[in-house]
């Protein structure tokens, strides 16, 4: 995929780097300032999940095209413990860690598309997309 | 980057200057909770105008901070939450339950004056 941008996530500082890069790329695509904040926040949530549960992983940013629409693709990958029950993890308020349990379901609400694949003992891959809405430009 | 904390009368004003890491946020929490007793402060304002992202961690830390300060006998007001940040917090489902907020520093100070019945004048 063109324009790929990969940020290793190993510590909480990397969360800030990831959301900066995401905001930058999204700004180039022409998202509104509110949408930039939504995207940066969603990136922050999935990056935090990587730091908290898997210790290290990465966030890959790329651009996708659907018809005449352009969008940003954020992929968060780790080789961590995996999520045993995705349905439960996607419920508001459910958390096995110290968070509020709003990270994953929240990130899903902030983006247009959200897909999560996880295998226990192998890792987790989250793919989120948001499309530029032409009328808000 | 750590957040400067200014003392003004009986109030403390923490004015966030740049994006905060988790460690910075936790340090701010510790510093404020400690200084409330050092200075016998009655009110605390945390100005988050510069923050362009408030995720679940930042929100939870600010909420805990306000509750800890309340247990130390002082009031906290969070000021300057940007419109985009407010929008994103609501979408994410984040709430600052039990925490006072105000539009900006001026409104925040007015709110504290009202809550502490103008105690600051004697400070």
| 3-state secondary structure string across A15-56 | HHHHHHHHHHHHHHHCCCHHHHHHHHHHHHHHHHHHHHHHCC
C-beta of residue A43 within 8 angstroms of C-beta of residue B94: no
Q: What pLDDT score was predicted for residue A99? A: 62
- DSSP letter assigned to residue B120: G
Interface probe, candidates B24, B50, B55, chain A, greatest A C-beta count within 10 A: B55
SS3 A108: helix
Query: Which of B53, B59, B60 faces A37 most closely, judged by CB atoms?
Result: B53
* For A17, nearest residue in chain B (alpha carbons): B21
Q: What pLDDT score was predicted for residue A137? A: 46
Q: Is B56 on the interface with A (CB under 8 A)?
A: yes
Q: Is A52 on the interface with B (CB under 8 A)?
A: no
Q: List, in order, residues 6 or more apart from A105 with CB less than 8 Å away.
A: A90, A91, A92, B93
pTM: 0.90
B113 CA to chain A: closest CA distance, Å? 32
* B123 inside domain: no
* For A13, nearest residue in chain B (alpha carbons): B21
d(C-alpha A131, C-alpha B119), whole Å: 52
Q: What is the residue range of B98's domain?
A: 5-118
Q: Do B55 and A16 touch (CB under 8 A)?
A: no
Q: Is A38 on the interface with B (CB under 8 A)?
A: yes
Q: What is the residue range of A58's domain?
A: 5-136
Lowest-confidence range among A53-62, A95-104, A113-122, B99-108?
A95-104
Q: Is B54 on the interface with A (CB under 8 A)?
A: yes
Interface probe, candidates B90, B92, B95, chain A, greatest A C-beta count within 10 A: B92
Q: What pLDDT score was predicted for residue A2? A: 44
A-contacting residues in B 67-106 (Cβ below 8 Å): 82-85, 87-88, 91-94
Indicate which CATH number applies to the domain containing B20.
Answer: 3.30.750.24
Q: Is A41 on the interface with B (CB under 8 A)?
A: yes
Lowest-confidence range among A1-5, B29-33, B37-41, B43-47?
A1-5
Residues from chain B that touch A15, judged by Cβ atoms under 8 A, are: 21-22
The ipTM value here is 0.88
Lowest-confidence range among A28-42, A81-95, B12-26?
A81-95
Given a cut of 90, is residue A1 above it in pLDDT? no
d(C-alpha A18, C-alpha B21), whole Å: 12
Q: Is B1 on the interface with A (CB under 8 A)?
A: no
B10 CA to chain A: closest CA distance, Å? 33
* B44 inside domain: yes
* B93 inside domain: yes
Lowest-confidence range among A15-24, A26-35, B113-122?
B113-122
Task: Summarize the confidence of residues A43-57 as an average pLDDT.
Answer: 92
Average pLDDT, chain A: 89
Indicate which CATH number applies to the domain containing A44.
Answer: 3.30.565.10
- DSSP letter assigned to residue A11: S
Q: Do B53 and A40 touch (CB under 8 A)?
A: yes
Task: Summarize the confidence of residues A89-102 as an average pLDDT.
Answer: 72
Answer left, alpha or beta for residue A135, where phi above 0 means left and psi between -120 and 50 means alpha: alpha
- Give how many domains chain A has, as a whole number: 1
* For B57, nearest residue in chain A (alpha carbons): A99
Q: What pLDDT score was predicted for residue A135? A: 57
């Amino acid at each position: 995929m063109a324009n790929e941008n990969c940020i290793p996530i190993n510590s909480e500082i990397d969360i800030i780097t990831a959301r900066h890069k995401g905001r930058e790329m999204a700004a180039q695509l022409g998202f509104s300032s509110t949408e930039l904040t939504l995207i940066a926040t969603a990136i922050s949530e999935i990056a935090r999940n990587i730091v908290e549960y898997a210790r290290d992983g990465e966030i890959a940013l790329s651009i996708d095209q659907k018809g005449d629409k352009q969008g940003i693709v954020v992929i968060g990958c780790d080789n961590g413990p995996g999520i045993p029950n995705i349905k439960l993890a996607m419920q508001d308020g459910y958390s096995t860690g110290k968070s509020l349990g709003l990270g994953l379901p929240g990130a899903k609400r902030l983006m247009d598309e959200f897909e999560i694949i996880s295998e226990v003992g192998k890792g987790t891959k989250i793919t989120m997309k948001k499309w530029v809405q032409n009328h808000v430009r | 980057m750590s957040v400067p904390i200014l003392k003004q009368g009986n109030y403390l004003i923490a004015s966030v200057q740049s994006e905060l890491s988790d460690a910075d946020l936790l340090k701010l929490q510790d510093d404020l909770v400690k200084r409330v007793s050092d200075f016998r402060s009655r009110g605390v304002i945390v100005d988050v105008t510069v923050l362009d992202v408030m995720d679940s961690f930042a929100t939870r830390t600010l909420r805990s901070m306000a509750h800890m300060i309340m247990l130390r006998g002082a009031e906290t007001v969070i000021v300057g939450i940007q419109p985009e940040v407010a929008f994103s917090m609501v979408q994410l489902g984040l709430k600052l339950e039990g925490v006072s907020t105000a539009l900006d520093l001026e409104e925040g100070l007015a709110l504290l004056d009202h809550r502490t019945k103008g105690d600051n004048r004697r400070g």
